[in-house]
Structure 1
């Protein structure tokens, strides 16, 4: 470490997804004020992190500065790569050792569900649904109601709507609907009161096979 600089350790949870994770990418940036009327500039750095690693130490940060730190998951989707939304946090290098970690990096202890998984993809005359299941955490789950949200991340169908769909259920299994062939959807399950929260209790990616996959299972199916 260069004398006078700071080090920040970034930690994250492995995302819940049925797609194989290839690696992570960590970004950190700092705005630099322009001199003598020049425009401000933003210095952006990034580092590739192996999939087995869920932390990274950023070194040589300048003191008395604010950094914008982001983490992104890169997954394998067929022959292409699927990049997740970036989780982000602001980090101030003037913080003292006694100061708590930023909210976005702090471990939450109030989750009410765990183990969100894809059970199976259901096909019925081109009506495609995906059944997801989760497990309530004992003594924490008192509401018995869950908010399920899903939105496509990547799709071969350019006409696929980008609108987020949602539903409330009292069950621990739910069929997300209005899915399209060859699309990847991000599914989040949380408490109904947390609809606007960016850090849901559980989240995973669901990949719907292309129509050709179902043709092998259904006779005379036309795509």
Structure 2
């Protein structure tokens, strides 16, 4: 029997509390849902950290848009990691690409090293890399523990074949965490197709708000 776990992308304090109260194993704290998630406000992070006993990872993404960053933005990312480490967060989520769509190994390694003992997830920048096989090896080389990906599809269902391929290629060297359009309506199929024990990632938002739905979290957990 697999022991899959659930991570909730939380865009506000309310979602973080809902995630914990309804059985999620971990949250990814971010803001600006309309931009796909950016680095959260430090005050919000303080408030959430004080409230939560489950694990809390923080996204380090200075803006929406692409994943090619300027020198100034890279400095900002380093400063954010240093600040959030003081909060005793449990991990970081980020990803930097080169202009040609390859993984920026130099900068990613620097951030992973800066995170120290805290685990790092390479986020959905992986969904726009030019070469999935090479990028997988590069991300592993950088020291990441997890890749968050929809399998390069608009959502996890569309990307299921790539998710399966990447999971097989990873061969348990790194966790492949499906995320992007994951809902209680498709979790059963995903859980069947992906053989390895893993985390599943969702915002659990089912309306036009930016707050997680407690019933959706329960419904997803029922399949894990």
More strand per residue: 1 or 2? 1
TM-score bracket relative to the smaller structure: under 0.3
Which structure: larger Rg?
A: 1
TM-score normalised to the size of structure 1?
0.26
Higher helix share: 2
Query: Which gives a bigger RCO, structure 1 or 2 (Cα 8 Å, sep 6+)?
Result: 2
TM-score by length of 2: 0.26
